[in-house]
């Protein structure tokens, strides 16, 4: 049995950022990050869009708004200090018709309340920034940016190793026992004993919360986001980040264009129910995961209420034509032949039993374990700040 001060379960960006902040704030603390996969950042972190979000969308005062603002700054500083490429390229949020102007105005007000540098621009300025986009008015957010979060994670692992800790792969946590002076955790790579543990397991956060000895108050339902990317001959159609005015009920829906730091331009996503928590392809099915989703009252309530939206998303999953039409709202010149399939991502969507979408970060302590129960977008942008907050919870107890 290996002994450590802190065991972090989950080597996505939240777990690794927590390990980094802890070893920085309290040098000499021994930290092990255990992940069920061989490599870090294998799931949400390694399949995301790589946007450094500004924090414009989030409710003022929410954990997402606060953590995104300071987390983005910390992430930029980290990347600058470590020589990790990032680009503060700016973003436009585009209103296509008059009916979207009140929504645009609401986001602008939120942006101002959250301290985001942003301005409303007219058609002429929009055309200067993104010559191929439609739209009558937009919000320009010059401080939004892009980065490769997987690259950030690999550097965080190096930092952890240099601080005397380590990343352990193939170490799925299967059991956890809280004792008076520590936590014993059984994983695929052996048993660990720690003074304190942190679960940052993304798509499995409800399950590891249960392992820690408390019943989670949400269920994670996986939604696959499917993407296309622009072929080289069509890349000129998008310079940076072009987003629609989001639907307030489903802020994560709405296809957009994202330039990645490697120069690819991602188009999408739609959002369809994944039949497995790590169901990156339509044919990936886990009977356990699917049965849990389909028997969960919260999912059934949400599906009943929003089935029309759900069908629209599914239709775009099966019909490239429908996907292209959604993209054409933002860039009318896009044609089907400009697009090729790109890898999908699966989002951990936390739902309550009454069918409500939990959109803020949720971090709860249970005995000697801190459970990160919900870390949706922009958790990658915010990760270094989330890690700082978790470290502050752990430090006095070490
Ligand atoms: C398609 C998509 C696009 C996104 N775009 C952005 C963006 O542009 N900007 C942004 O800020 N955010 C974005 N997000 C959100 C962001 O990626 C996530 O919020 C963030 O990566 C969450 O990090 P995490 O460490 O909590 O989870 P994850 O990255 O999912 O990591 C969890 C880890 O836990 C491990 N694990 C699970 N169960 C166990 C177990 N029992 N034992 C051991 N290990 C376990 C998994 O293998 C995994 O490595 C996006 C998300 C998606 C899905």
pLDDT tens, N- to C-terminus, the chain (398 residues):
899 999 999 999 999 999 999 999 999 999 999 999 999 999 999 999 999 999 999 999 999 999 999 999 999 999 999 999 999 999 999 999 999 999 999 999 999 999 999 999 999 999 999 999 999 999 999 999 999 999 999 999 999 999 999 999 999 999 999 999 999 999 999 999 999 999 999 999 999 999 999 999 999 999 999 999 999 999 999 999 999 998 877 766 789 999 999 999 999 998 899 999 999 999 999 999 999 999 999 999 999 988 777 777 777 777 888 899 999 999 999 999 999 999 999 999 999 999 999 999 999 999 999 999 999 999 999 999 999 999 999 999 99
Query: 3-class SS at 243?
Result: strand
Confidence at residue 147, expressed as pLDDT on a 0 to 100 scale: 98
Phi, psi for residue 173 in degrees, rounded to 5: -75, 125
Distance 333 CA to ligand 1 centre (A): 34
Distance 277 CA to ligand 1 centre (A): 12
- 268 DSSP β-pair partners: 256
For ligand 1, say whether the CB of 377 is within 6 Å of any of its atoms: yes
Give the end-to-end CA distance of the chain in Å, rounded to a whole number. Answer: 20
**Contact status, residue 182 vs residue 194, Cβ threshold 8 Å:** yes
Strand 166-168 to strand 31-34: parallel, antiparallel, or no bridges (unpaired)? parallel
Q: Which residue's CA is the closest to the ligand 1 atom numbered 31?
A: 12
CA distance 258 to 375: 21
Strand runs labelled E in 270-386: 272-273, 339-351, 362-366, 369-374
Atom number of ligand 1 nearest to Cα 46: 29
Q: H or E element: which one contains 161?
A: helix 149-162
CA distance 65 to 58: 5
Distance 18 CA to ligand 1 centre (A): 14
Atom number of ligand 1 nearest to Cα 211: 41
Confidence at residue 251, expressed as pLDDT on a 0 to 100 scale: 66
CA distance 61 to 113: 9
Q: Which residue's CA is the closest to the ligand 1 atom numbered 50?
A: 48
Atom number of ligand 1 nearest to Cα 187: 42
Confidence at residue 309, expressed as pLDDT on a 0 to 100 scale: 78
Atom number of ligand 1 nearest to Cα 16: 25
Phi, psi for residue 217 in degrees, rounded to 5: -95, 10
* Ligand 1 pocket, mutate which of 9, 10, 152, 188 (most atoms under 8 A from CB): 10
Atom number of ligand 1 nearest to Cα 344: 1
Residue 211: HSE in the Cβ half-sphere, 13 Å Cα cutoff: 26
Phi, psi for residue 375 in degrees, rounded to 5: -135, 70
**Contact status, residue 201 vs residue 42, Cβ threshold 8 Å:** no
CA angle 372, 394, 17 (to 5 degrees): 55
Q: Which residue's CA is the closest to the ligand 1 atom numbered 37?
A: 201
For ligand 1, say whether the CB of 12 is within 6 Å of any of its atoms: yes
Confidence at residue 106, expressed as pLDDT on a 0 to 100 scale: 95
Distance 129 CA to ligand 1 centre (A): 31
For ligand 1, say whether the CB of 241 is within 6 Å of any of its atoms: no
Q: Which residue's CA is the closest to the ligand 1 atom numbered 3?
A: 48
Confidence at residue 271, expressed as pLDDT on a 0 to 100 scale: 87
Confidence at residue 79, expressed as pLDDT on a 0 to 100 scale: 98
**Contact status, residue 228 vs residue 240, Cβ threshold 8 Å:** no
For ligand 1, say whether the CB of 36 is within 6 Å of any of its atoms: yes
Atom number of ligand 1 nearest to Cα 348: 53
């Amino acid at each position: 049995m290996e002994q450590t001060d802190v065991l972090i379960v989950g080597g996505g960006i939240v777990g690794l950022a927590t390990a980094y902040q802890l070893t920085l704030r309290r040098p000499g603390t021994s930290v092990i990050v255990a992940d069920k996969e061989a490599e870090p950042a294998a799931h949400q972190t390694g399949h995301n869009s790589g946007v450094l979000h500004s924090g414009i969308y989030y409710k003022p005062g929410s954990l997402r708004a606060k953590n995104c603002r300071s987390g983005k700054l910390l992430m930029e500083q980290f990347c600058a200090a470590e020589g990790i490429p990032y680009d503060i390229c700016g973003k436009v949020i585009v209103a296509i018709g008059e009916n979207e102007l009140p929504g645009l105005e609401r986001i602008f007000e939120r942006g101002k309340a959250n301290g985001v540098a942003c301005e409303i621009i007219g058609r002429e300025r929009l055309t200067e920034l993104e010559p191929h986009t439609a739209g009558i008015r937009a919000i320009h957010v010059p401080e939004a940016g892009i980065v490769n979060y997987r690259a950030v994670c690999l550097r965080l692992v190096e930092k952890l190793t240099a601080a005397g800790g380590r990343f352990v792969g193939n170490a799925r946590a299967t059991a956890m026992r809280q004792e008076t002076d520590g936590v014993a955790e059984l994983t695929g790579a052996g048993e660990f004993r720690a003074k304190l543990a942190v679960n940052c397991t993304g798509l499995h956060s409800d399950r590891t919360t249960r392992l820690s000895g408390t019943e989670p108050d949400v269920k994670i339902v996986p939604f696959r986001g499917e993407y296309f990317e622009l072929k080289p001959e069509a890349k000129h159609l998008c310079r940076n980040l072009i987003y629609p005015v989001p639907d307030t009920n489903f802020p994560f829906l709405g296809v957009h264009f994202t330039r990645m730091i490697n120069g690819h331009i991602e188009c999408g996503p739609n959002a369809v129910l994944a039949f497995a928590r790590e169901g990156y392809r339509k044919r990936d099915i886990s009977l356990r995961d699917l049965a849990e989703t389909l028997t969960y009252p919260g999912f059934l309530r949400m599906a009943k209420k929003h089935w029309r939206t759900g069908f629209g998303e599914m239709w775009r999953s099966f019909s490239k034509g429908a996907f292209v039409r959604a993209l054409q709202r933002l860039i009318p010149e896009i044609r089907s032949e400009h697009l090729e399939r790109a890898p999908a991502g699966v989002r951990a969507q936390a739902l309550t039993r009454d069918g409500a979408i939990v959109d803020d970060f949720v971090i709860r302590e249970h005995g000697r374990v801190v459970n990160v129960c919900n870390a949706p977008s922009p958790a990658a942008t915010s990760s270094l700040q989330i890690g700082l907050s978790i470290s502050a919870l752990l430090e006095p107890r070490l």
